[in-house]
Each structure stands twice: as C-alpha cells, then as structure tokens.
Structure 1
C-alpha cells in the first residue's frame, strides 16, 4: 500500500461537529426571531413592501410555491404589519330588494370590511379570489373572496397559479392599479342582475415562484417586473462561525415547534448536521428548506415520540433501507459478475471510474463503479471516444475527453503526431454517459495503455482534469465513494482498497459511518489530490515524471515506445525514403 501525504484521515470524512459542541447547549438560551437571522434579505423586502406607499406594491420572491413556504412568508408579513395602527378598509354593502349600496367601513366583522390581514393561497379560482354574486329566490347575495379578507393588507400567492390563469391575473392587476374591485358576472353572456358599486381596494401583493416562473413573468409583463421589488427565500446558509450555526439550529427548532413537535434534544443535532451536509453537498452549507427539516423531524418523532440521536438515526436507516431496492439489485449484478468490476489485481489499460446513477421517479441517486478500458495500437494519433461514436456520450463528456487528450499531448512534447491511436470506452454501459467527472480516470487508463504499465484495480478514481493537469471538483462524491466501498466490503476488504478524489472535494464529504469506521481501521483508504500526476503513482506504482535524467517513469516509457515505433516504421520504408528521412533529420 502506497501511503502519501494526500491520504485522508477518518476525521476528514464528515463535518467536524466537535468544535461546535457548545452551540447545542445555547439554542434555548433566549427567544429570537430565527427567520430574521437566516433570511435577512426576505425580511428586509417584506418590511419595505409594508412601508411602500407609492407605485405598484408588488414583491417577487424566488422560492418554492408550496403551502409551507407561502404560509411562512404570510406569517412573517403579518408579524411586520401587527405593529401598524388598526384601520378599516373596503366598506359595507347594504342590499334592499334589487338595490345595492356601498357604505363606508364601520364594523370589522362585516365580510367586505378589511382590517389589513395577510392571506395566502397556493391555488385559487375566480370565485375564491374575487368572491361572487348569487341570486337565490330573487334575492341577491354577495359572497366575499380572498381579496376582500386581505383588503388593506397583503395577499401572498403562487406565481404559477396566476400564470396558469392569465385572465385572473389581468383582473387582479387592474383592480390594484385602479384601487377598486369591480363585480363581474360569472356568465359572460349575461350581465349582473343589478348594478353593484365597486369596492375600494388597498392591497399589497407577494408572488412566489421559482426562477423559471419569474423569467416567464418578466417576459409576459416586463414593465411591471421592472417596477416590482425582488428578493429570495435563501435555500441554504453559509456557516462561517458559531453564530451562523446557532442561528440555523434555532431556525430548525422553531420549525419543529411550529409543527407541534417537541424541541430537539442536544444529541439530535450532530446526526441532523451530517444529513444536512449530505443534502447540500457542502460541509459549510446547511439547508433552510422548512419542508426538508420537517421531514427529518417528523420521521424521527415517529420512531419514539422524541427528537433525539437514536430516533433520527433509526429514521434515516429505515428510509435508506426502504428506498434501496433498486440500488441493491444493480449491485447484485456486480457481485454475481454479470457486470464485471475488478477489485483485486492489476490490469493494463483498465481502471475503475465512479459514477452516480439517477432514475426518474427514484427518490435518491446512488453510486456505482464503472469499468473504463483503453486499448492502443499503431495509428495516426486519433483518440476514439466509443461513447461519442455510438451516440451514448453527452457534450460535456466529449469536452472532458478532448481536454484530457490536450493535456497528455502537451506533456509528451511531441514534434510530430502521436504514432498511436487509442480507443476508450465505458464497458457494459448501455445508456447515455455525460459529465466530465471520469476524465481523470480516462487519462490514467490511457497513460497505462501507452506506457504498458498495469493499473491497481483495488483503487477507484473520480475527478475532472483541465488542460494543465489540475484536478477539478465533481458532484455526487459521497454516493460514489460509498458505491465502491459497498462492492469492496461485500467481497471482503483487503486493507489496500480505496478511492482517489479531488482535493477540492474534501469539504463535500459526509460519508456513512461504515466508511468512516473502515478508514479509521485502515481497511479502506481515501486520497485527495490536486494534480493528475499525483494519481498515477498511486494507481501504477510508478511516477509520471522522474527528476533523475535516466530515471524510470511513465512519461519516459511512453516516449521510448514512440521512438521504437518510429524506428520500426523507418526501417520498413524503401531506401530512397529512408535516405530522405535521414537528410530531413540532419
């Protein structure tokens, strides 16, 4: 086993929670506005909207459009507005026979008198929003809608709901612009049975939508989009110090209490943080999504009616088992040798790459090793990407292949085209391959084939390469490492197996406890590298470049092989061409 300074310790494989241990005892010390601490931009925009007196009072929020988000935004807006003086808006409709008159607002209990409330809805129909006129036994009845209850206050709606019903949006926009809501007949073919005075309207509007919905809104109504205030419900929090983590924990605690769950116990936080890092893919970033937090807490609560370490770990293990059928069946194919993956021995031109499998409709991705092979033969220097030729390789994969080839040609410093052709392929891959995370593995397989130096099959590789040989970060790292570890563990760990990853991916690690324990016991290894030439000694046992003038290295072996092939070709040429070649060289 080659031990290098790039080898990670078990402490590197999960977020370091011990340095924040004191935070967990301070969560309940004082009552604070947890939303303001984690969503300052949103809070500022809501406050600005509440104070806005001129222009069109519209706030666009980039966020999810489900009930949890809308309710949370509406609740915060209601808290901001609660400090305002109570006023009455709208009016009172007095109906005598077929005569309808509007009187000034005087009684807050009247259905058409608004008190400045905040209302929200994730889906609305015409009658639900604007109310309706009913005629029953020749008696007129006016029914209020959401807009009447929110009169004088704020209405929080899903943007896609209005985009799906453009006439609804046009009527709402016109009512806000005119400052009054006019009654309309539900049947366009028949007018209202009586004349009904328009209701004075004072309304602030918050529209929530994702980036695609906001882009569509800008395209359909560019003038109003330009006048609107914009903010975001931030999906994650950058953790730079203890105060940031404390704010996140208090936010999560408040989400639990709002859902009528008990406050989390002190030992609940470490496993929640590890799962949060897996969700965001970054040790310094934690999710703020209330739906994600509630799912973890509700499932933990179902395990034992408390939020503790044991209940959360039990919930996560149960969920993983429940969702693991497809991943287990595909791994069985490897263990039964229906998909050939070597985890022992040495092979020239063959390497274990790491990939992430995602199926539509399946709740989570999982990692699997992929056998990448390369063969070389005398030729004109063409590198054949079989996946691309078979139209199974995406554009990003093709780009990674070309970058990898450019780096190798530059390193060889050839004055003429490479006299070898190569063919690289993902073996037993029958679906589209995309992404550049396999370019480091493909480079190592190509170097192995050119130098005729075998690759250690006990080590898998992931990472992308730039034209200077720098190793760049990739996604799905935890799943990739755990996928290879599972295969090695099922076949029995040898103590020499492991994975090579980009050094800039260390911050993304939050591995399962099985992997952490195996690394701690030196039964599995993880190396983090910055450059492609650091991976080659680990895989082949030989350095890429030797500092000694005549030292043995992979680069020299490739150059010698090229020189030998050129000499063989020269010896088979007719003597006039050989003489001409000698003349050109001199």
Structure 2
C-alpha cells in the first residue's frame, strides 16, 4: 500500500476565501426566496395551482428547522390559484323553516352589497306597508324588481328573494330584525385566501353555532353562526399540521367526509338550528414528515386518493458553480431582511456559509434551515447593536453563544476526561488498545467523544467475543460491523487452518448503549495488535466502517469526532504525533474549526484519509501490513507475518529439546 499523506489546510473545510472573492465581485445581491433548491416542491405546487387539479390536495414533507409557513406562502404566491372559486357567503332566514337558514353564494366582494341592498328594500317596503295598512298592494314584491335586476345571474338568490317577498306580503314576520348574516366576505380585488392553523379542532375547522338565553329560553338563529377555517379558506388554501390529525382521528374523518362530499357540513347542528351546508372549494395542504404521512396511510388508505400530490422539502442546496454561491448568498440576505435585520456584509455571508456547510457536513452543500438561520441572524443583530450592517464577528459571536447554551453535557464529558475519570491515552504505544471515535447525541446537541477500545486474546478457535453485544449494550448495526471484521480476519488467517485464538472486544467505560459500524476499523486494528502482540500508536485515533475485503467506508459525524479527539489531545498535551485516521470518502464532509486547521498547518495535529485497512495499519503500527510472497507467506517483519507466525506456532508446537544428561538418565 502507498504511504498515506496527511490532509492540508485547504482540504479541511469550506473554501471561505473563494466564496469571499466571488461575493466581492457582486456588489449587489438579488434577494432569493425560500424556494431556492426546492425543485420537487415547486413541481408539486405547479400542479396544485392548475384548474385540472383543483380537487387534488397536497402533503408537504418538511422538517422542523425550515420555515414551512413562509415557504408554502411563497410557493403559493408564485403559483397562484385562480380566484374563480372565491365567493362570499351569506346566511338568511328560511321563511318556510326558520330552523334551517339558507346559504347563498355571492360573487367575491358582493356579500356586503347584497346585505345593504336587501336591508334597504325591506326598510322601504316596510315603511310603505306602515303608511298604507289598508292597501291591497303587495309592496315587498312590487319593490323587489331593482334588486332582482342586480342579482339576475344568481338563480338561487332570485328564488330566495321572490319567496321571501311573497311570504312578507302575506304577513310573515321575520324572527330577527336583520335578515342577512354576512358569514364570509371578501374584497372584490382580494387574491385567494391562504389560511394556516397550527392546532385544529372540530370547532376551528367547521365553525360553531352559538346560543343565547332570552327569558330562560335557549335561542339560536342564523346570526349566531360562526365561521370555521374551512369557510374562511373556501376558494383558497387551508394549511394544517398532519400530526394533529393523527392525534385526533375523528377530526380527520370529519375532514375526509367534507373533502369527498365537497361540502362543509355543520358538525355542531342541533335541534335549534340546522343550517344548509356550504359548497367546499378549499384545497388542503398537510404539513408533516414522512413518519406522519405513513401514520395517516396506516390510519386511512384513502388519503392516497385525496392527497395525490406529495411535495418533499429539500434541506440542502448544492454549490455546483459560481452562480450558485451568489444565489445562496442572496438567500441568506433575504432571510435577514425577512427577519427585519440590517443587511449582512460579505464577510458575514461567508461566515454563515461556512457554518451552513458545517451543518450539512459537506464542503459543497449548504443548509436550507431557514428558521434556524433567521434566529441566528436576529441574535447576531444583538451583537451588532446600532451598526449599519451585521459583520462576520457578530455571526461568530452568535454561533458561539448558541453552542454554549447547549453544550452542558459535552462540557461534563470533557471535564471527566480532563480529571482522568475517563481513561484515555494519547501518547506512547500499547498492545491491544486504541482510541475509537464516537458521537454522543443529546436532545439538544451532538458531540464527539473518544472511546478506549481494548482486545484480549486467549487460546480458542477464532471466535471474536463482542462484550457490548453480550450485555445488550450494542445494536444490530454494531453487531454487523463486528461480524464483518471477523470475516476479514478469517479470510486472512484461516484459509488453511483454524485461528487457535479467541478474543474479547470491549468498549471500556461505556455505560450507555452503542450502535453503528463506524468503530469497525478501530476494532480490527485493536484485534490485529492483540493477535500480533504489536503495539499501536496511542496518539492516533481511528474512525471508519469497512467491508469484508478491508475497504474503508464513510461514516457520519466526522467533524464532531475529530473535534472531540483534538480537545482530548489538547488537554493531555501535544507531542506532534497525534492525529486521526478517517475514511478518504469523508474528506468532502470536513469542516473543522479554525483552531484545528491552524494546528494541522503547523504539524501539531494530523488527519490521514485511508481507503483500505492496510493503509491504516501502516499509520497505526508504524510497520507494513504485509504482502504474500510466492510461497503464500507474509514477510516476518510485517504485521500479518507476525500474526501468521504466532498462529503457526500455536497450531504446530515444537517438541521441547532434551539435553544429553536427560537422555542418559532415561537410557
């Protein structure tokens, strides 16, 4: 295997200098909306807004760190619905049955006009009736003609007015002095309504019928009808959280019934009042994650019929060319303006882009966590105080403050290492011991913490005992990793004969469950050390998964792992022999703090990328793994040669030599 060179400073993170140069060449940044990088969602909203899909509803699969409301509003406004389905709704007394108020749909902006004209007509006809009580003239019908002319294109309105006029002319007395309840009204030039509800229930969605008590009697009339969000969003869009519907299945089935029937029925109807249902023209958007969508599918498979449009929200944006850098900077600048903050300097934008790259764990991809960036920029504004712009120092102060507020557990862990309560050796050499790297997750934070892995061997048949698994502290993926490295050992050393050694593999001072296969490479190196009785460099920590053929595979949390081991080395003292072995495929994921970059540039700390376990052997043991010769044997001076020799000695023990005196004694 070729010798592995350590990474240079330029390979350790997002190229801030390149980004700064690009932004300095663009004195003006166009504001870029939250829909940046949301091609899948844009596609879904394009269909959602068409007349052909007006009866199709949508499920938006997002995540907590993105401002879902702002994104949905932006996508709806860029793909507007037609306003043909927006209408005013009035409820009027039914002169044939006061218990069932009549629902009238009027063109957008005509509800208040209708109410005013009807009131004027009733007032005028009533005054004429009062002035000429003995007359046989039907004043209500005679005075109705101008009103009928105004609403001549609305058959249901015309029928209602004609029936009302006849009843009034025949002496019918209205139960309420005001005939019309302007239930839902719009301005004539309003766009389609967009309504959000974070905590829906039946009353909020479907409205309510209030009651009053008059002289000890409960009374309800059409003026006591209270609109719900479905009424207010009719002709537009209603946005609901899917997890709330999962928590309240009854509400989901009520909503489902309305969507299938295309009517908003009164779930609170009673024996006092049972109003007519309203035609439903609302399109629903449910916001949740993939888990909540699966939950709704399990609850009711019909959701596929009602919600055929799925919009997956992307959480990252790839920087594929120079224009993408500028777009993303405009995206961040737009978030600052949305948050009512001053503009960001180019240095502040670069600092945010560097942090964004750290969040995504990729040097060429940026986070789209708009809600998180909004909070961070607002906090940076506090440090900027009355300055005209937010600079990089303010962004860094806000990031440091944010990290400090959530690092309590990480600090306790580091203090335990400093106080030697957790035994971690970062210098010298030891047999059967290595520093593996792991990430601990809390509710608020995730941080790297080295784990001391040890291996002890004894006479056996090649079995690798995983102590964590035996005591139920390890998960299935960890067990798979141990099985893979066991397979690798048997391929190398048990092709012709059994391995006459067993081994126990232990994560020392591990008191919580572990899982994942990122410790496979470290565990194998530890076992090889124990089998060969060759020491490992304790200043070199290791992380990486592997396959059965020794190829090293990518892992997660590489930055947290490196930072965790660097801090331990810093506490124990540097000797310029310390570093970390990582999978070469994880190099694009690096985004390390400036302190570590400087330490690597000064050769105080090193990061070694490897593709194969044998490269890691050369770094960890300071001797080669070994290559088979023509006789199928490894060189004695190699690591594999040492293991092969030990196995051969155990499988083929030599008879002890008998001295001449002993021979004469038993002759």
Q: Which residue of 1 aligns with 2:649?
A: 564
Q: Which residue of 1 aligns with 2:209?
A: 133
Q: Which residue of 2 aligns with 1:7?
A: 6
What whole-Å deviation, never above 9, does each CA across 1:445-503 have from its counterpart, x for those lacking one?
11111111111111111111210100111111111111111111122211111111110
Q: Which residue of 2 aligns with 1:335?
A: 418
Are the counterparts in 2 of residues 89 and 202 from structure 1 also a CA contact under 8 Å? no
Matches within 5 A, 1:157-306: 157-185=240-268, 191-226=270-305, 228-305=308-385, 306=389
What whole-Å deviation, never above 9, does each CA across 1:372-398 have from its counterpart, x for those lacking one?
111222222222112122222222111
* Superposed displacement of residue 65, structure 1: 6.8
Q: Give the SS at the match of 1:558.
A: helix
Match of 1:112 among 168, 184, 206: 184
The alpha-carbon distance between structure 1 residues 28 and 201, as it changes in their structure 2 partners (threshold 3 A), is farther
Larger deviation: 84-93 or 319-328? 84-93
Q: Give the SS at the match of 1:294.
A: helix
Q: Which residue of 1 aligns with 2:58?
A: 59
Q: Give the SS at the match of 2:382.
A: helix
Query: Is 1:401 equivalent to 2:482 in the alignment?
Result: yes
* Superposed displacement of residue 37, structure 1: 3.7
Q: Distance in 2 between matches of 1:22 and 1:560?
A: 59
Q: Which residue of 2 aligns with 1:468?
A: 549
Number of residue pairs matched by the alignment: 562
Q: Distance in 1 between matches of 2:511 and 2:358?
A: 29
* Superposed displacement of residue 5, structure 1: 4.1
Q: Which residue of 2 aligns with 1:122?
A: 198
Provide TM-score, normalisation by structure 1: 0.90
Are the counterparts in 2 of residues 354 and 369 from structure 1 also a CA contact under 8 Å? yes
Q: Distance in 2 between matches of 1:36 and 1:277?
A: 19
The alpha-carbon distance between structure 1 residues 566 and 17, as it changes in their structure 2 partners (threshold 3 A), is same
Larger deviation: 64-73 or 15-24? 64-73
The alpha-carbon distance between structure 1 residues 55 and 298, as it changes in their structure 2 partners (threshold 3 A), is closer
Q: Which residue of 1 aligns with 2:638?
A: 553
Q: Give the SS at the match of 1:445.
A: helix
What whole-Å deviation, never above 9, does each CA across 1:400-459 have from its counterpart, x for those lacking one?
111111112212253111011212111122222221111111111111111111111111
* Superposed displacement of residue 28, structure 1: 7.1
Are the counterparts in 1 of residues 407 and 445 from structure 2 also a CA contact under 8 Å? no
Moved over 6 A (4+): none
Q: Give the SS at the match of 1:424.
A: strand
Q: Give the SS at the match of 1:222.
A: coil
Larger deviation: 544-553 or 216-225? 544-553
Are the counterparts in 1 of residues 477 and 515 from structure 2 also a CA contact under 8 Å? yes
Q: Which residue of 1 aligns with 2:398?
A: 315
Are the counterparts in 1 of residues 85 and 281 from structure 2 also a CA contact under 8 Å? no
Q: Unmatched 5+ residue regions in structure 2? A: 113-181, 657-667
Matches within 5 A, 1:14-53: 14-25=13-24, 29=28, 31=30, 34-53=33-52
Q: Distance in 2 between matches of 1:412 and 1:198?
A: 79
Larger deviation: 467-476 or 29-38? 29-38
Q: Distance in 1 between matches of 2:55 and 2:473?
A: 51
Q: Distance in 2 between matches of 1:146 and 1:133?
A: 14
The RMSD of aligned alpha carbons is 2.5
Q: Distance in 2 between matches of 1:157 and 1:304?
A: 37
Q: Which residue of 2 aligns with 1:581?
A: none
Q: Distance in 1 between matches of 2:575 and 2:243?
A: 55
The alpha-carbon distance between structure 1 residues 87 and 325, as it changes in their structure 2 partners (threshold 3 A), is closer
* Superposed displacement of residue 67, structure 1: 9.6
Q: Distance in 1 between matches of 2:184 and 2:315?
A: 38
Are the counterparts in 2 of residues 70 and 121 from structure 1 also a CA contact under 8 Å? no
Q: Distance in 2 between matches of 1:385 and 1:215?
A: 36
Are the counterparts in 1 of residues 542 and 581 from structure 2 also a CA contact under 8 Å? yes
Q: Which residue of 2 aligns with 1:353?
A: 436
Q: Distance in 1 between matches of 2:27 and 2:230?
A: 39
Larger deviation: 208-217 or 319-328? 319-328
* Superposed displacement of residue 273, structure 1: 1.8
Are the counterparts in 1 of residues 436 and 519 from structure 2 also a CA contact under 8 Å? yes
Provide TM-score, normalisation by structure 2: 0.79
